[in-house]
Amino acid sequence: MKLFSIFSQAVRRQPVAIIALVLLLFFLAMELSQQVEYAQGFDTYFSKEHKEYKQYKLFTKDFGTSIASAYVFVKGDDVVNYETFEYMLKLGDVLSTIDGVGEIKSPAHSIVNRLGYLPQDEKTLESYAYKLAQFYIPKRSFALMEIEITASQDKYNVIAKEIERKLQLVPKPTGVVVEATGNPLVRYQVNQAISGSMKSMGMAAVLLMVVILGLVFRGVVSQKRFLMLPLVISVFTAVMAYGLMPVLGIPLTEVTNAFFPVLIGLSIEYAAQFQSRFEEEMRKGRSAFDAAEKAIFSVGTALSLAMITTVIGFLSMVFSGVPSLSWFGFLSAIGLIIAYLLSLTFLPAVLVLLSGRVGEVKEKKAKNLETFARGVARRSNLVLILTVVLVTAGFYGYSNVGIQTDFYKYIPQDLPAIRKMNELKSLVGSQDRVILVMETDGVDMDTIEKFDAMCRYVASSEPQVTDYSNIATLLSMYGMPKNDYQLENVLDRLPDVQKKKYVSGGELAAYFTVAPMDWLEFKDLYERVKEEINFYGLGQGYYLTGDVVLKMFVADLIINGQNKMTLASYALVFLLLLFVYRSFSKAVVPLLPITTVIAVVGGVMYLLGINRTLVSASLNSLTIGLGIDFSIHIMERYLEERRMGMSPEDAVAITVSNTGRAIITSGLTMAGGFAAMMVSPFPIMRDFGFVSVISIIFSLIAALTVVPAFLVFIESLRAKRMQQQ
């Protein structure tokens, strides 16, 4: 190919210039990496065109709330007393000065809103507290303050810092402990965890690569000073890709932070394949320049196909419809292209400059691999039968793998804000709310009464709806108006932050609190609530929104996204292989072991109880993109040996004993990159890293068994046909 000629000529004529250019780009990337921004939450899960997400954003715009709350825990031996309630009022006044903070609720605020003052008599205070705000006092030693957040999500970090700071400003009663949690504080702590996670995963990946290269690649490299060169290539690749993030406008999220260890593991494959062939040519007595040129042309096609198919696997994540997955796939694809270019330019340039003359080196035969390969070739029918059995059993498990849509389960469970959120749930139960937004001709008493009646009907019809509130709920706290004139007067007196929660122009909002349930149960409830609203026939139009509604649609994204990504990966890779080889059988061969692996890994996930998540939904396309590399390298070398006149069995033996060592190194280092995710504090990353390692190991085994077995099986069929003719 002309491209390989360009690479080899550049390495022969300008090796120093290539090295200098790469070093310059590396240091530039390190500087750019300081400008990387962070993002998380629904904005990273839904595209801007997603219907339900647009409704969610419309609600936050119209009603001036982000449907998020921060919470303050007030703990003590007995918090139902005048001194503690007075403290909550003072704390509320201080917190309300924070930009982006709306209404503040607490048992003390509920009493003042009804009476206009805080009773000093302890019995009167206690009576009103349990009558008006029982929810905010789940037990005498615990009171809850709820802080509604009206700012957009990009302000959450600032708000979280301010809440924590202002909690220290108001003197607390003796024996009272105050703690904060809620969405803004969770997001703030998650951002800090993301940065730490990437650093820990990166360090773990590098350490694993050192160990794996030292154990496996040592048998390939004759000059031990070059043993870690593939790791140098992978680190350069990961840093360069990271430096491109601010240029491309890609933020660091709980999903994209995984690309760093992944690229470290994946990039080594290309470098290891090239360096392995370079060493093989050097052992034949070639000069360093000639060995590099021969290696570029020999492995260039396989590396190119492997790179393109892997890039297809990553780019297929665009079909998921999830921005964070699309960013992860796009960034990883760019990183692989960088690794490919470095492996065929920078690596050979370093090798030809530093190799010099090499003395006689005895070629190390991989006897165990050769014996194994001949066994596979002779028992190809048995290998294929076992493959069919594994695929059948695996697909049963694959179809029954569960789905995790609770975002709080995706993030570190030991974060202080998360521990407090779990404590809150254990005390007061679910705070999942379905928000109904309905258009009306105008807000008058007749409309409000009918709207409240409909909400009451929905709540009474559905046992899983535990509570509800709307504008009528708020009005009843100030004395329900008798007519439109009184309504107008009451609405004028209501604080804007309270009123806007329920009324926006001609729209009314109602909040239904629902019991904890999985996404399938909630999907049934969601559909039933829509049917009941339609049956009641009030309003010109409506929509349902809220965090729990979006979580349900995340499950749809996981299922539909996985199917789209898988089909796109299969189709694009098959068409590419068909175009390159002009042979249906050669296009199918690399896909056979991958199909086996997808089924087997699904079965393993089912047996171990590992659920699908937004990240692991990409596993099939990643398996196709990553695992097919091994199959292509095996098939390419096999076809090369067959063209040289080797028998099918000898071709398999030579392929596995030579190329097999390189792909075992590649597979183990690739697995090491994903295994580094298992040190992440994010459960979503740990599970993904674990199943990815299993996928890679099975892909490696399948490439060394299923591919040779199928190639020999095809050859035997052709031989029988020729004999019959």
Please indicate, yes or no, whether residues 315 and 271 belong to a single structural domain of this protein: yes
CB 251 within 8 A of CB 327: yes
% residues pLDDT > 90 (the chain) = 21
Tokens 């048995």 -> residue: 382
Tokens 């070639």 -> residue: 286
Q: Which residues pair with 469 in a beta bridge?
A: 511
Alpha-carbon gap, residue 704 to 96, rounded angstroms? 65
Please indicate, yes or no, whether residues 582 and 714 belong to a single structural domain of this protein: yes
Is residue 213 packed enough to be buried (19+ CB in 10 Å), middle (13-18) or exposed (0-12)?
Answer: buried
Confidence of residue 492 (pLDDT cuts 50, 70, 90): confident
* Average pLDDT over every residue of 500-513: 88
* Average pLDDT over every residue of 120-141: 88
For residue 574, is it within any domain? yes
Please indicate, yes or no, whether residues 629 and 717 belong to a single structural domain of this protein: yes
For residue 23, is it within any domain? yes
* Average pLDDT over every residue of 411-418: 81
For residue 60, is it within any domain? no
Please indicate, yes or no, whether residues 183 and 250 belong to a single structural domain of this protein: no
* Average pLDDT over every residue of 438-442: 86
The domain spanning residue 564 has which CATH number?
A: 1.20.1640.10
Q: How far is CA 157 from CA 8, 100, 101, 154, 264, in A?
A: 51, 11, 13, 7, 31
Domain count, the chain: 3
* Other Cβ atoms closer than 10 A to 350: 21
Confidence (pLDDT) at 142: 92
Flag whether pLDDT at 240 surpasses 60.
Answer: yes
Flag whether pLDDT at 382 surpasses 80.
Answer: yes
The domain spanning residue 108 has which CATH number?
A: 3.30.70
* Average pLDDT over every residue of 323-342: 91
Tokens 């399948």 -> residue: 702
* Average pLDDT over every residue of 648-666: 81
Flag whether pLDDT at 358 surpasses 50.
Answer: no
Flag whether pLDDT at 457 surpasses 70.
Answer: yes
Give the model confidence (pLDDT) of 5-44 as tens digits. 998 899 988 999 999 999 999 999 999 988 988 877 777 8
For residue 547, is it within any domain? no
Alpha-carbon gap, residue 668 to 266, rounded angstroms? 10
Alpha-carbon gap, residue 243 to 33, rounded angstroms? 4
User: Which candidate, 691, 694, 601, 679, places its Cα nearest to that of 257?
Assistant: 679
Give the model confidence (pLDDT) of 613-636 as tens digits. 877 777 888 788 777 778 887 888
Q: Which residues pair with 145 in a beta bridge?
A: 72
- In sequence order, the 6+-apart residues with CB closer than 8 A to the CB of 391 are 595, 596, 599, 600
Alpha-carbon gap, residue 511 to 65, rounded angstroms? 13
Flag whether pLDDT at 359 surpasses 50.
Answer: no
Please indicate, yes or no, whether residues 618 and 699 belong to a single structural domain of this protein: yes
Confidence (pLDDT) at 722: 76
pTM beyond cutoff 0.85: no
Confidence (pLDDT) at 77: 92
CB 704 within 8 A of CB 383: no
Q: Which residues pair with 564 in a beta bridge?
A: none
Confidence (pLDDT) at 119: 92
Give the model confidence (pLDDT) of 310-327 as tens digits. 888 888 888 777 888 889
Please indicate, yes or no, whether residues 154 and 237 belong to a single structural domain of this protein: no
Please indicate, yes or no, whether residues 525 and 385 belong to a single structural domain of this protein: no
Give the model confidence (pLDDT) of 561-618 as tens digits. 778 888 888 888 888 888 888 888 778 888 888 888 888 888 889 888 888 887 777 7
* Average pLDDT over every residue of 642-652: 86
Domain that holds residue 99: 67-187
* Average pLDDT over every residue of 485-502: 81
Flag whether pLDDT at 688 surpasses 90.
Answer: no
Flag whether pLDDT at 340 surpasses 90.
Answer: yes
Which of 480, 506, 539 is the C-terminal boundary of a domain?
Answer: 539
For residue 183, is it within any domain? yes
For residue 193, is it within any domain? no
Confidence (pLDDT) at 376: 83
Local structure of residue 610 (DSSP, 8 states): P
For residue 515, is it within any domain? yes
The dihedral of CA 32, 33, 35, 38: what is its sign? positive
Q: Which residues pair with 486 in a beta bridge?
A: none
Flag whether pLDDT at 221 surpasses 80.
Answer: no
CB 181 within 8 A of CB 420: yes
Please indicate, yes or no, whether residues 517 and 607 belong to a single structural domain of this protein: no
Flag whether pLDDT at 360 surpasses 50.
Answer: no
Please indicate, yes or no, whether residues 281 and 310 belong to a single structural domain of this protein: yes
Please indicate, yes or no, whether residues 181 and 233 belong to a single structural domain of this protein: no
Which of 187, 212, 247 is the C-terminal boundary of a domain?
Answer: 187
For residue 95, is it within any domain? yes
Q: How far is CA 330 from the centre of its chain?
A: 13
Alpha-carbon gap, residue 265 to 238, rounded angstroms? 10
Please indicate, yes or no, whether residues 292 and 341 belong to a single structural domain of this protein: yes
Please indicate, yes or no, whether residues 566 and 700 belong to a single structural domain of this protein: yes
Which of 167, 187, 207 is the C-terminal boundary of a domain?
Answer: 187
Flag whether pLDDT at 261 surpasses 50.
Answer: yes
